[in-house]
Amino acid sequence: MKFELTKQYIEELQEQIETGQIDLILEIINALHPADIADVLENLDPSQAKSIYELLDDEKAAEALMELDDDYRTDFLKLFSSLEIAEQVDQLNTDDAADLLGELEDSDQAEVIAQMEDQDHASEIIDLLRYDEDSAGGLMQTEYIIARENWQVRRCVVEMRRQAEEVEKVYSIYVVDSDDRLLGILSLRRLLFAEPTTLIREMYKNERIHYVKTNDSKASVAEIMEKYDLVAVPVVDFQNKLVGRITIDDVVDVIREEAERDFQMASGISENVESNSSILKNTRSRLPWILIGLAGGILSSQIIKGYEGTLEIIPTLAFFIPLIASTAGNIGVQSSAIVVQGLASNDFQMKGILRRVGKEALVGMVVGLICAVIIYIVGYFFSDDIHLAVTLALSLFLVALFAAALGTFIPLALDRIKIDPALATGPFITTANDIIGLSIYFIVAYIVYF
């Protein structure tokens, strides 16, 4: 039931392109969903992809274009003239059209808009382009269905039929007053079951209605839609006038992107990169954190150098440097991951920083205690040196405690001063904890031995 793209499929298609079997290609490709067509195109080189693309129905072509991977689309569009792009934009919903135009250079953007056929459509898209792409305004489309409160159901259905031509998916109808202010939301189901002469005013839900404002962040749009299980949410401007609608499919993308971004940040990747991004982009996204890690490593080397004397007397201490550093890093990363996820899902609404750090420190103590006991036994057998065993056990316990506390405190503190807490996870926490862990280790060793 899912379309499976195979190597064989692509090879056959390539052969059909080369031998010019247009009819066969047309039949195959037009039966596919735009998302599947996009998968096919991405596996062809751009010029072959274009020759297939031009065979598609207008609407399907435009939809497939939006399903392409961003990077591929950028390259692909370079093969098109601005008039050809304008023809695609004419077919798209306003939200997709604005996204597509937003990806173009400013000069190309203006050229494409000037060549669009439907100038009403064009001016709606220009309106949308003014919004920040990370806001509700940047996500919304201007295709939605409205009803006036003084209409009867009969009139509403007639008007809907007119409006529905350009609205691809109708989930509900937004009831507005004569100034376009949002009054209520009406489900299609209720309309279907209503008497033709009932007034809309008597039908729309009197409950708290869920809507967002144009300048709400896309994260908060996702939060509301997820919390209240909405498939579409109306967007109003600062005067409460209805200006757009956001559908769940766009928000699902937001949810996935945010989760992926947190994961990438925690893994020390600073720029959104995909497995098929170029080597340059891939390197650029990775280098900043690696260099910070490198600086941390150099700092660590200075700390160890500071204890050169101790190391000369007890060279065995050097063996356990990676153990201390990696345990500190691992525990810190765990703590910060839990905090970052908690912040992302808004679990902390009413809890203070100190209480949270205290709890994580307690967990760190428990984990540290278990590690300390194990390493004490290992250290004892490893060297017969009771001092080494005590040093390892004691410093591991302290390291776990500090690493957990720091791993909790840093993201919470960053969040409090409105910096993205995900920045703190991964390499940053690891590096900070490496340094603190090693300092603890050598101080403890000094105290135990001398």
Site for its own copies in 314-353 (CB under 8 A): 315, 318-327, 329-331, 333-334, 336-339, 341-342, 345, 347-350
Rounded to whole angstroms, the Cα distance separating 220 from 284 reads 30
Q: Which of 106, 208, 384, 450 binds its own copies (CB under 8 A)?
A: 208
379 in Cβ contact with 389 (< 8 Å): yes
The strand ranges marked E within 214-268 are 232-236, 242-247
Task: Give me the 56-95 binding string for its own copies, x by CB under 8 A, dash otherwise.
Answer: ----------------------------------------
Q: Which of 74, 81, 119, 301 binds its own copies (CB under 8 A)?
A: 301
Q: Give the β-pairing of 212-213 and 232-236.
A: parallel
- Binding status of residue 442 toward its own copies by CB under 8 A: no
Q: In the range 352-381, which residues lie near its own copies by CB under 8 A?
A: 356, 359, 362-363, 366-367, 370-371, 374-375, 378
- Binding status of residue 300 toward its own copies by CB under 8 A: yes
- Binding status of residue 197 toward its own copies by CB under 8 A: no
The strand ranges marked E within 28-181 are 146-148, 172-176
Least distance to its own copies, CB of residue 216, Å: 9
Give the dihedral of Cα atoms 415, 417, 420, 421; nearest 10 deg.
Answer: -40
Closest CA to 114 of 158, 82, 153, 139: 82
Q: In the range 376-415, which residues lie near its own copies by CB under 8 A?
A: 378, 382
Q: In the range 6-35, which residues lie near its own copies by CB under 8 A?
A: 6-7, 10, 31-33, 35
Helices 427-449 and 321-344 cross at an angle (nearest 10°) of: 140
- Binding status of residue 212 toward its own copies by CB under 8 A: yes
* Per-position b or e across 244-274, b if 16+ CB within 10 A of its CB: bbbbbebbeebbeeeeeebebbbebbbeebe
Q: Which of 305, 384, 417, 450 binds its own copies (CB under 8 A)?
A: 305
* Per-position b or e across 209-230, b if 16+ CB within 10 A of its CB: eebbbbebebeebbbbbeeeeb
- Binding status of residue 427 toward its own copies by CB under 8 A: yes
| Closer CB to its own copies, 104 or 216, in the complex | 216
The DSSP H or E segment spanning 429 is helix 427-449
| Closer CB to its own copies, 130 or 161, in the complex | 161
The DSSP H or E segment spanning 183 is strand 182-187
Q: Which of 19, 78, 106, 192 binds its own copies (CB under 8 A)?
A: 192
Q: In the range 90-149, which residues lie near its own copies by CB under 8 A?
A: none
Task: Give me the 223-262 binding string for its own copies, x by CB under 8 A, dash otherwise.
Answer: xxxxxxx-x----------------xx--xx-xx--xx-x
Task: Please list the residues that pair with 236 across neighbouring strands.
Answer: 213, 242
Closest CA to 266 of 258, 274, 276: 258
Rounded to whole angstroms, the Cα distance separating 435 from 292 reads 13
| Closer CB to its own copies, 89 or 314, in the complex | 314
| Closer CB to its own copies, 18 or 308, in the complex | 308
| Closer CB to its own copies, 73 or 116, in the complex | 73
Least distance to its own copies, CB of residue 126, Å: 25
- Binding status of residue 160 toward its own copies by CB under 8 A: yes
Rounded to whole angstroms, the Cα distance separating 275 from 267 reads 14
